A and B are shown apart, each in its own frame.
Chain A
Amino acid sequence: MMQFMLLFSRQGKLRLQKWYVAHPDKLKKKITRELITTILARKPKMCSFLEWRDLKIVYKRYASLYFCCAIEQDDNELLTLEVIHRYVELLDKYFGSVCELDIIFNFEKAYFILDELLLGGEIQETSKKNVLKAIAAQDLLQEEETPQGFFEDHGLG
C-alpha cells in the first residue's frame, strides 16, 4: 500500500501531498523536509529507489517536478514508477501538456485526479479514459450549479 505521495519542485517547494496514513502534522512536515532534501541531493545517474526507515521511496523527476511515493516492503517499486507515470499522463491529458504552474494554480484539480486514480493508497482504476470521464462529469456538475453572470464569482475563481 502506498503510504504517501509528494510532489515537489526542484527548488524544494512542496506542490502536492497526499497521505494515506495518519500522522501528526509535525511528523508529516519532518518527513517531507527530510525526503525533499535527500532526493534533491541525489545525482541523476542514481536509481529511483531508496530505503528510508522501513519504507521504500520511489521517485521520478518530470521536468521541474519530482513525484515521490513511499511504499511498503512488499510493494513493487517498478510498478510504482508506472503509477507515477500514469498520474503524469492523466494530468497531461487533463491540462493539456501539463506544467508546474498548472499544478500550482489548480492544485485542487490535481488532487481530484489523484483521488480518482488511487484510493486509500491502492489503485482503483486502471483505465485512463474512466478516470478522465469521472473528472469531467464532476467538473460539469460543478459548472451546472454555478450559473454564469450573477454568480460568477461563486466558484473557486
Chain B
Amino acid sequence: MYPYYEPEWSVLPPELNRRFNPAFNMATIKQAINEAVERVRMPTPMRLRDLIRQIRAARTAAEERSVVNKECAYIRSTFREEDSVWRCRNIAKLLYIHMLGYPAHFGQLECLKLIASPRFTDKRIGYLGAMLLLDERQDVHLLITNCLKNDLNSTTQFVVGLALCTLGAIASPEMARDLAAEVERLMKSPNAYIRKKAALCAFRIIKRVPDLMEIFLPATRSLLSEKNHGVLITGVTLITEMCENSPDTLSHFKKIVPNLVRILKNLILAGYSPEHDVSGVSDPFLQVKILKLLRVLGKNDAEASEAMNDILAQVATNTETSKNVGNSILYETVLSIMDIKSESGLRVLAINILGRFLLNNDKNIRYVALNTLLKTVHIDTSAVQRHRSTILECLKDPDVSIRRRAMELSFALVNAQNIRTMMKELLTFLEKSEPEFKAPCSSSIVLAAERFAPNKRWHLDTLLKVLVAAGNYLRDDVISSTIQLISETTSQQAYITLQLWHALAEDSMDKQPLIQVSVWAIGEYGDLLLTATIDDAHDVEKPTEEDIIEVYQRLLWSPQNTPTTKQFALMSLTKLSTRFSHTNNKIQQIISSFCSSLHIELQQRGVEFSQLFGKYGHLRGALLERMPPMEVVRQGNEVQANGDMDESEDKTSDTSPQHISTSESTFLVDLLGGGSNSDLDIIKPSSVPSQPISNSNNQDLLDLLGGIDLSPSVPTTDSGLGFIMENNNGSLTLDNNQTSNFLTGDILNTNIINEKNVPTLTAFEKNGLKLVFSLERLPESNNTVSIHLTATNSTLSNMTDFLFQAAVPKAFQLQMLSPSGTVIVPNGQITQVLRITNPNKGVLRMRIRLSYMVDGALVQEQTEVNNFPTHIWD
C-alpha cells in the first residue's frame, strides 16, 4: 500500500503543490464528479436574473403568463426529480413568480428541504420562502417546527437569527407552544443579536398564546438593564405586550417606571450619538416605545403618573419640532399625557402642542392633531375650544381625510354659545363638500340644531339651508323631522312656508328632499303664503296662486322627480284646492290628468283625488283640513321611509268623514258652552264649495262662537265644508266618543287591553315566495288588529313589481299601508302593514292576490287565508 502521494514526486514546496491540498481527497473528487454528471444529465436551469428579465420583457399579460407557466412547469419537474443542486435557485425564482400573483404553494415542501440543508445560502432562501409561502397548514407546520428547533440550537448566530425571524413571522399557536422554551433560553443568550430577536419572538408568542407569558417573565426584566438599543427596544415592546395582557403583570412591572424614566432622560440629555441619531433626535424609535409603555403603566395609577410627570414635561418642551421625527415623539407624549393621571398644567401643554400641530405645514401632522383632539375633546372640551378657529380652518383643507376629521371635531365642539358661528361655517362646508360628506354632515347639523337652536326661526332657517345645500344626499329622517318641526311651530309657519316657496322656485337641481318638504308646507299652509304679512315676508316676494300652480305643474311633469315626490306634490296640490280661490279648475285639471298615469300609485291618487272634485266634492274641505301640529314625542320613531308621511296624512283623512257626519251644531254649542279650549276651530258649513279665505269666513265663525274670543294666533282654516272638530288634546275627542260612538268606533277608545302575543302564521308559500303574517293587537283599540306582512324571496332572482292585494268580508274594515318596497332581492324581504278592524268580532277570512315579475315573467297568485286565530279578537 502506497500513500496517495509521495513528497519526492514534486520539487514544489508542499503548500504550492496541488496534490498536497488536504481537501483534495477522494470524497471531494467524487462529489465534484457526481455533480458534474448531474449537470450534464440536466440542463442548467435559467438564472433568477434571466427569468426576471424575460418576464419584464413580456409585452402582454398573456406573454408573461406563458413565460411564467413554462418556468413553473420546469421548476415542478426539478422538484419531482429531487434536484438538490439547483433547489435554492428554483425556489428563489418561484418566490419572484409568487410575488407576481401566481400560485406557488407547491414550493412549500421544497422550502423545508432547503431549511434542512447545511448550507447557509440554502437556509437563507428556505426561510425566506417559508415566511412567504407557508400558511397555517398543520402538516407543514409540524415539519417546520422541527427544523426551527434544530436551527435555534445552531452555533452560528445568523442561523439562529433566521430561525427566530421566521418564528416571529409565522408562529402558529402550536409552534408557539412547542418552541417557547427554546426562545426563553435564547433570551438569556450572551449574544445581543440573538437576545433582541428572541425578545420579539417572545412578544409574538405571547400575542398568539397569552398563557405562555409566565415562562418569559423572569428573563424579561433584565432586558431593561442593557446598553444595546436593540435589546432595550425589544425588551420594552415585550413588556408593553405583557402589561396589556394581564393586570397582574401590569402591577408587577409598575416598579420599572423609574428605570424607564432614567433611560428616557439619558436619551434626551445624552449628547449626539451618531449611531442612533435621526435628524438631531436621539433614537426616536426607542423614545416612542418607552413613552407608550409609560402610558400603559401610568393609566389609572396616580402614583406611577406622578413619577413620570416631570419626564413627560421635559420631552414635551425639549423635543426639536422642525421635523417629522420630533413630532412623532411629541405626538406619543401627548397621547401619554392624555391617558395617564397627569397634572392639569401638563394637559394644557399637551392640547397646546396639538394646537401648534394644527398650524403645521405638514398635512400628516395636521391630520394626527385633529385625530387626537377628536379623541380628547370629550375629556377636556374647554381646552380644545380654544383652537376652534384653527379647526374650522381645517374644513377648507385640500386633503379629504383632514376635512373629514375637522368636520367630526367641529360637531363635537358645537354648543349653545357658539352654534351660530359654527353653523355658518359648517353650512358653507356642507354646500361645498363632496357627496360623501353631505349625508353625515347634514344629519349632524340637524342634530346639533335640535339640541342647541337659540330659537325656532333660526332652527327652521338652518333646516332650510340644509335642504338647499345637501340636495339629494339628505337622509330621510331629516325630511320628516323638518316637516314635524314646521308643523309644530305654528307661529313661524307663514314665514317658513314663504322661504320654502322661494327656495323651491329657485331650485333648479331637482332636490327631492327640498321639494318634498316645500310642497308639504305649501299644501298645508298655502293660504298663509298668500296672506303673509310683511314681517313674515322679509324681502321675499309673495307669490300669486298662478305662480304656485305653475311650479307644481313643472314638478309633476318633470321626469327628474321621483314618484314619492310627485305623491307629495299631488297631495299638496289637492290640499291647495281648498286654500286657493280662483285656480281650482287648473288644479282639478292637473289632478285628473294623473288618472291615467302609468305609475300605479300616482294613478290611484289621481283617481281618488279627482273624486273629491266630483261626486264627493262636499267632503273635500273637511278631508283636506290642515293637519294638527305633530307632537314632539313622535321624534323617536320619526325615522321612516319617504312615502310614509302620506300614510299619516291618509289616516287623518280617513277619520275625518266620520267626524263630519256626526258633528252637530248642538253638540258643538254644548261643547263651546263649557269650553275654554281656544285651539278649537269650528267652521260653519257653507254652500260654496271652495270659499275663498276671507275675513267674512272668520266673521261667520265669530258669529257662531258668540262671545268666545278667538285669539289671532289660532290657525285659521280654509275649509268651507262641514262641521269639523280638530283639537290637539285627545281628551276632547274622547268626550265626543260618548255621543258619536258609531263613527269613531272604538279607535280612540283608551280601554286597557290585555295584551296578548298572537302567533304568526304563514299565509302563502309557493315558488320561493313566502308570506308571513304576524298579528298584533293595537294597544289603543280592542277590535283592531295590525298585521305585519313579511314577504320573503328564497329564489335566486329578483322579484320586481311586487303587489299584494287583500280583501276581507264587508263586516271588516281593512286598511293597508304602503309596502316597504316593490322589489324583493334574493333572500331579501319587504314588509307591509295591514290594519283590520272587526267591530262585530266575526271570524276573519281574507282573500289575497299577489302579483310580481320574476325573470321577466309575470306571476299571479290568489289564495284565501282562513286560519286566523279567533282568540285575537277576544
Residues of A within 8 A of B (CB): 1, 14-20, 22, 24-25, 29, 43, 45-51, 74, 76-79, 81-83, 86, 104-105, 107-108, 111-112, 115, 119-130, 134, 137-138, 141-142, 145-146, 150, 153-157
A-B CB contact pairs (8 Å), 7 listed = A22-B170, A46-B401, A47-B367, A119-B201, A142-B121, A156-B47, A157-B49
Chain B 50-93 interface mask (CB, 8 Å, partner A; 1/0): 10100010000000000000000000000000000100110010
Q: A24-B135, A46-B400 are in contact. Are A145 and B366 (CB under 8 A)?
A: no
Do residues B128 and A108 form an inter-chain contact, with CB atoms below 8 A? yes
Do residues A49 and B401 form an inter-chain contact, with CB atoms below 8 A? yes
CB distance from A149 to the nearest CB of B (A): 11
Q: B88: nearest residue on chain A (CB-CB)? A: A156
Q: A79-B288, A137-B158 are in contact. Are A125 and B168 (CB under 8 A)?
A: no
Q: Residue B835 at the A interface, CB < 8 A?
A: no
Do residues B364 and A81 form an inter-chain contact, with CB atoms below 8 A? yes
Provide the bound-state CA to CA distance between A19 and B134, in Å. Answer: 11
Q: Residue B276 at the A interface, CB < 8 A?
A: yes
Q: Residue B430 at the A interface, CB < 8 A?
A: no
Do residues B230 and A130 form an inter-chain contact, with CB atoms below 8 A? yes
Residues of B within 8 A of A (CB): 32, 44, 47-50, 52, 56, 85, 88-89, 92, 95-96, 99-101, 103, 105, 119-121, 124-125, 128, 131-132, 135-136, 156, 158, 161, 164-165, 168-172, 193, 196-197, 200-201, 203-204, 207, 229-230, 233-234, 237, 275-276, 278, 283-286, 288-289, 292, 324-325, 327-328, 331-332, 363-368, 398-402
Do residues B92 and A108 form an inter-chain contact, with CB atoms below 8 A? yes
- Residue of B89, B103, B275 near A127 (CB, 8 A) is B275
Provide the bound-state CA to CA distance between A86 and B402, in Å. Answer: 26
Known: A119-B200, A120-B171, A157-B89. 19 other contacts (CB 8 A): A47-B366, A49-B401, A76-B292, A79-B285, A79-B328, A79-B332, A81-B328, A81-B364, A82-B325, A108-B95, A119-B169, A125-B196, A126-B229, A126-B233, A126-B286, A137-B158, A141-B158, A142-B121, A156-B47
Provide the bound-state CA to CA distance between A93 and B523, in Å. Answer: 76
Q: B129: nearest residue on chain A (CB-CB)? A: A108
Do residues B44 and A145 form an inter-chain contact, with CB atoms below 8 A? no
Complex contacts, B100 vs chain A, CB 8 Å: 14
- Residue of A45, A51, A122, A150 near B398 (CB, 8 A) is A45
Provide the bound-state CA to CA distance between A99 and B621, in Å. Answer: 82
Do residues B284 and A82 form an inter-chain contact, with CB atoms below 8 A? yes
Pair count A-B, CB < 8 A: 180
Complex contacts, A86 vs chain B, CB 8 Å: 278, 285
Complex contacts, B135 vs chain A, CB 8 Å: 22, 24-25
Complex contacts, A112 vs chain B, CB 8 Å: 124, 128
Provide the bound-state CA to CA distance between A102 and B158, in Å. Answer: 24
Do residues A77 and B233 form an inter-chain contact, with CB atoms below 8 A? no
CB distance from B116 to the nearest CB of A (A): 16
Q: A114: nearest residue on chain B (CB-CB)? A: B165
CB distance from A45 to the nearest CB of B (A): 5
Q: A15-B99, A22-B172, A134-B161 are in contact. Are A47 and B120 (CB under 8 A)?
A: no
Do residues A120 and B169 form an inter-chain contact, with CB atoms below 8 A? yes
Q: A19-B169, A107-B96, A130-B230 are in contact. Are A78 and B120 (CB under 8 A)?
A: no
Q: A47-B363, A47-B367, A81-B328 are in contact. Are A142 and B120 (CB under 8 A)?
A: yes
Provide the bound-state CA to CA distance between A40 and B229, in Å. Answer: 36
Complex contacts, B131 vs chain A, CB 8 Å: 18
Do residues B52 and A122 form an inter-chain contact, with CB atoms below 8 A? no
Provide the bound-state CA to CA distance between A111 and B169, in Å. Answer: 13
CB distance from A33 to the nearest CB of B (A): 9
CB distance from B805 to the nearest CB of A (A): 46
Provide the bound-state CA to CA distance between A76 and B330, in Å. Answer: 11
Do residues B99 and A16 form an inter-chain contact, with CB atoms below 8 A? yes
Complex contacts, B99 vs chain A, CB 8 Å: 14-17, 107
- Residue of A123, A129, A150 near B275 (CB, 8 A) is A129
Provide the bound-state CA to CA distance between A75 and B208, in Å. Answer: 19
CB distance from A41 to the nearest CB of B (A): 11
Do residues B168 and A156 form an inter-chain contact, with CB atoms below 8 A? no
Complex contacts, A43 vs chain B, CB 8 Å: 398
Do residues B230 and A122 form an inter-chain contact, with CB atoms below 8 A? no
Complex contacts, A111 vs chain B, CB 8 Å: 128
Q: A47-B402, A77-B364, A120-B169 are in contact. Are A138 and B158 (CB under 8 A)?
A: yes
Q: A20-B169, A137-B158, A156-B48 are in contact. Are A124 and B207 (CB under 8 A)?
A: no
Complex contacts, A48 vs chain B, CB 8 Å: 363-364
Provide the bound-state CA to CA distance between A32 and B700, in Å. Answer: 78
Complex contacts, B44 vs chain A, CB 8 Å: 153
Complex contacts, B132 vs chain A, CB 8 Å: 17
Provide the bound-state CA to CA distance between A1 and B168, in Å. Answer: 12
CB distance from B245 to the nearest CB of A (A): 13
Provide the bound-state CA to CA distance between A49 and B165, in Å. Answer: 28
Provide the bound-state CA to CA distance between A150 and B39, in Å. Answer: 12
Complex contacts, B399 vs chain A, CB 8 Å: 45-47
Provide the bound-state CA to CA distance between A128 and B275, in Å. Answer: 7
CB distance from A147 to the nearest CB of B (A): 10
CB distance from B296 to the nearest CB of A (A): 10
Complex contacts, A120 vs chain B, CB 8 Å: 168-169, 171, 200-201, 203-204
- Residue of B32, B48, B207, B285 near A126 (CB, 8 A) is B285
Do residues A145 and B121 form an inter-chain contact, with CB atoms below 8 A? yes
CB distance from B129 to the nearest CB of A (A): 10
Q: A82: nearest residue on chain B (CB-CB)? A: B325
Do residues A78 and B363 form an inter-chain contact, with CB atoms below 8 A? no
6 A-B pairs closest in CB distance: A78-B328, A120-B168, A157-B47, A120-B204, A47-B363, A79-B328
CB distance from A80 to the nearest CB of B (A): 8
Complex contacts, A130 vs chain B, CB 8 Å: 230, 275
Q: A125-B196, A134-B193 are in contact. Are A76 and B48 (CB under 8 A)?
A: no
Complex contacts, A119 vs chain B, CB 8 Å: 164-165, 168-169, 197, 200-201, 234
Provide the bound-state CA to CA distance between A78 and B354, in Å. Answer: 14
Do residues B136 and A126 form an inter-chain contact, with CB atoms below 8 A? no
Provide the bound-state CA to CA distance between A18 and B286, in Å. Answer: 23
CB distance from A3 to the nearest CB of B (A): 12
- Residue of A22, A50, A142, A153 near B401 (CB, 8 A) is A50
Q: A107-B99, A122-B203, A124-B230 are in contact. Are A82 and B324 (CB under 8 A)?
A: yes
Q: A50-B401, A150-B32 are in contact. Are A78 and B89 (CB under 8 A)?
A: no
Complex contacts, A155 vs chain B, CB 8 Å: 89, 121
Complex contacts, B368 vs chain A, CB 8 Å: 49, 77-78
Do residues A156 and B92 form an inter-chain contact, with CB atoms below 8 A? yes
CB distance from A83 to the nearest CB of B (A): 7
Do residues B200 and A82 form an inter-chain contact, with CB atoms below 8 A? no
- Residue of A18, A50, A83, A156 near B89 (CB, 8 A) is A156
Complex contacts, A157 vs chain B, CB 8 Å: 47-50, 89
Provide the bound-state CA to CA distance between A115 and B127, in Å. Answer: 11
Do residues B230 and A79 form an inter-chain contact, with CB atoms below 8 A? no
CB distance from B295 to the nearest CB of A (A): 9
Provide the bound-state CA to CA distance between A76 and B333, in Å. Answer: 11
